[in-house]
Structure 1
Amino acid sequence: MESCTNEDLDAIIETNLNSEQLKQFNRIFYGQEDHCELKLRLSTLMASKNENFQVCGYSFAASKEEARSPRILKFGLVQHSIVLPTHKPLKEQRDAIFQKVGKIIDVAASEGVQIICLQEVWSAPFFLCTREKNEWIEFVESPTDGPSIQFLAPLAKKYSMVIISPILELDENNVWWNTVVVINENGKVMGKHRKNHLPSVGSFSETSYYSPGNTGHPVFDTKYGKIAINICYGRHQALNWLMFALNGAEVVFNPAATISEFGESFWGIEARNAAVANSYFTAGINRVGTEVFTVKNKYEEKQISRTYYGSSYVTAPNGVRTPSLSKCSDGLLIAEVDLNLCRQVKDHWGFNMTSRLDMYAKELNAVK
């Protein structure tokens, strides 16, 4: 598979439309004429240039209310490539990723980010495509005191930041899970959520590594807002998104590791649809870069190559969305939102009032 060379959609559009045409495109495609870009610090722009990652920020406003003050939340998304080739010692690979991501978190903190979400299995190459398991076991870790937690917890405490860390979990019975750990602003683990829906598409099957999650649809009531995490493939399941809404989520993050063959054409649609249908903010985070693995067995030695298309973005409950991060570059996307918009959109559209969940529950229960 070739490395990412395709030009980003936003660049194609901006190059080929005049200013008035661009306004109309933005109004229809993004939901508003102006992207409402945040003014970033000069030090942020310099750091992104020096460390070679993209950074951008956008704001989402809500209507002013008499009875409630604005509930402003600033959250960030991090997409990144691996650093070292996959044949290098596993600890060296992980430490190099730690160093890269740590610098991006430092920049996010300088911009006042309160919650940050990393991509699926962020501290390792996505070796799940190899069908090998024992060879990669050192990347699987404890959700309470594994290497990723030990690295991120001090950063969470230092910056009073909630950090969402998707890892591969090894539980007390030596069973693997695809898990997200939520670390609070004091550096303590709030809890975890295990991936509900696992892909088995063609020759790729995550069921070779772990079972579907058993944690339901938890919502984490953080200091800054109520959040949930819909891990990667779960975005294809409308009811998965729905349950996080029914449990009170205000922002639902979708950390992913997905390639063009697995739905690039609807990557920008699913999380956006979920935001509209469920009256909360959604954030899709996808890794970037090409990862090459050499797989050996007694019959052959072959290479497996997978290229990820990034394109992380945020959508508000009214359907307004940000431009995507790059398809090819590491990046930090910052969103400043007013959580009051969730309730305002619910009141306007009345989706909860008209949802008829009792009817659907009855019919689903009757399905054989």
Structure 2
Amino acid sequence: MSCGSVTLAQGPEGQGQSTDFLRGAGSLAEASPLALSGLKLETPCVTWCLRGDPGLLAQGGFQGRKLDLPLSALVNASQQDFELLAFAFEASEEQLRPARLIRVGLVQNRILLPPDAPVSEQVGALHRRIAEIVEVAAQCGVNIVCFQEAWTMPFAFCTREKLPWTEFAESAEDGPTTRLCQKLAKTHNMVVVSPILERDEAHGDVLWNTAVVISNSGAVLGKTRKNHIPRVGDFNEATYYMESTLGHPVFQTPFGRIAVNICYGRHHPLNWLMYSLNGAEIIFNPSATTGELSESLWPIEARNAAIANHCFTCAINRVGVEHFPREFTSGDGKPAHRDFGYFYGSSYVSAPDGRRTPGLSRTRDGLLVAQLDLNLCRQMGDLWNFKMTGRHAMYAEELAKASQPDYRPHIIKE
């Protein structure tokens, strides 16, 4: 490995990694045996600092320094059984601008109760789990935390059934999940991005796939919705909600300008582009996607978007398999089944210079902490000039023509 890895246990994914967490471990090495005595070393590994991943490094992957974390955060993550990774991206030093250092936290998790458990119990269990992880994020100095798509529920949109799944929907402005996130935001001085199934009570009770952005003051800063709705495989989401009408809002926070490109929107380059043109420095991509369909695309799309748009991107996916009470089909020739497939986690952060962190586990709950220097956005813009050379006016004209029903493709033949 090119650098050290500190783990608090050895699990199935920890083979080949160092489990000697006292050697070269900084603050951990200085901890007394008494302070470490409560750790359960038989639990799966919690990684502290930069994990050497030969496959990733061979692809021109993460090149940076380890991000030291408090012992309390490491202990809590181990005791609560979720992975904790931390990395730092650095920018070139400037003479007129100080470094703009902020920390983001990406949370991935599985559902805690089976989908046929009472709705209120499922939501309550997830609320408690996320509050635990956010507490550790606060100990790690996180300024902005983002959860996975529709984090308060199973991703039941594959079933095409309405009840009980629509009962998970709630108000973006004052629903129980938003109230919880307001409390967490204010308590920890942290911006919270909370993707939920929204019940728009002011407009006919219709449903939306929505991300609520809550300021570190605890106020609801605003909301954004999913711009592109999939119609592929078991992604039967159009049975529940349609495309957003809110455009591409960017939210000014004390920790930078952020946007939220929900799930399937990552497959659409113009979606990323519009958030970038509106000034986003960090674009979160909370998702729920499965291995058979998209895992080969996952490491590429958010990373490419970071490069093309001179911004940081944060790709977040849930983990596990969710088994539903009744079988369903999606008209794709597959036999009836009760699960969507395997949600493979692997959440990661990419920088505008093409670097990216290793991903979180494919199988475990996790918190990925990344320290970003937002000066890197403008530095890469000055280097590559994509926003200057992008020829947006030309493409706007050509796309306007291509959108007309009488458009004829410009094909030259012999």
Structure 2 equivalent of residue 127 of structure 1 = 156
Find the residue that maps to 2:296 and give its secondary structure: helix
- Does residue 358 (structure 1) correspond to residue 393 (structure 2)? The answer is yes
Which of these residues, 239, 243, 263, is aligned with residue 232 of structure 1? Answer: 263
Which of these residues, 168, 185, 194, is aligned with residue 139 of structure 1? Answer: 168
Instruction: Check the 8 A contact 1:179/1:192 in 2, yes or no.
Output: yes
Structure 1 residues 305 and 205, CA gap change in structure 2 (3 angstroms): closer
CA distance in 1, matches of 2:140, 2:17: 29
Structure 2 equivalent of residue 4 of structure 1 = none
Identity of aligned residues (%): 50
Deviation at 1:203, TM superposition (A): 4.4
CA distance in 1, matches of 2:275, 2:357: 22
CA distance in 1, matches of 2:130, 2:184: 11
CA distance in 2, matches of 1:163, 1:305: 28
Which of these residues, 42, 55, 77, is aligned with residue 84 of structure 2? Answer: 55
Instruction: Check the 8 A contact 2:64/2:90 in 1, yes or no.
Output: no
Tell me how large the CA RMSD over aligned residues is. Answer: 2.1
Find the residue that maps to 1:360 and give its secondary structure: helix
Could you give the per-residue CA deviations for residues 11-68 of structure 1, whole angstroms, max 9, x where no partner exists?
Answer: 7899xxxxxxx79865542445x44221111111111111110001000001010010
- Does residue 315 (structure 1) correspond to residue 344 (structure 2)? The answer is no
Deviation at 1:304, TM superposition (A): 3.0
CA distance in 2, matches of 1:273, 1:303: 34
Q: Which has the higher contact order (CA 8 A, sep 6+)?
A: 1
Find the residue that maps to 1:152 and give its secondary structure: helix
Structure 2 equivalent of residue 93 of structure 1 = 122
- Does residue 105 (structure 1) correspond to residue 134 (structure 2)? The answer is yes
Structure 2 equivalent of residue 177 of structure 1 = 208
CA distance in 2, matches of 1:169, 1:159: 25
Find the residue that maps to 1:191 and give its secondary structure: strand
Corresponding residue pairs, total? 351
In structure 2, what residue type is equivalent to 1:160?
A: N
Structure-to-structure mapping, 1:1-368, within 5 angstroms: 27-32=57-62, 34-172=63-201, 173-295=204-326, 303-367=338-402, 368=407
- Which one has the largest radius of gyration? 2
CA distance in 2, matches of 1:11, 1:245: 40
Deviation at 1:303, TM superposition (A): 2.8
Could you give the per-residue CA deviations for residues 83-124 of structure 1, whole angstroms, max 9, x where no partner exists?
Answer: 011111110011011111110000000111000000000011
CA distance in 1, matches of 2:80, 2:396: 51
Structure 1 residues 30 and 51, CA gap change in structure 2 (3 angstroms): farther
Instruction: Check the 8 A contact 1:294/1:302 in 2, yes or no.
Output: no
TM-score (normalizing by structure 1):
0.91
Deviation at 1:361, TM superposition (A): 1.0
TM-score (normalizing by structure 2):
0.81
Q: Which has the higher helix share?
A: 1
In structure 2, what residue type is equivalent to 1:187?
A: G
Q: Unpaired runs of 5+ in structure 1?
A: 1-6, 15-21
Deviation at 1:202, TM superposition (A): 3.0
Could you give the per-residue CA deviations for residues 182-201 of structure 1, whole angstroms, max 9, x where no partner exists?
Answer: 00001110000010000111
Deviation at 1:144, TM superposition (A): 0.5
Could you give the per-residue CA deviations for residues 200-255 of structure 1, whole angstroms, max 9, x where no partner exists?
Answer: 11343211000101110000001110000000000000000000010000000000
Q: Unpaired runs of 5+ in structure 2?
A: 1-11, 19-51, 329-335, 408-414
Deviation at 1:362, TM superposition (A): 1.2
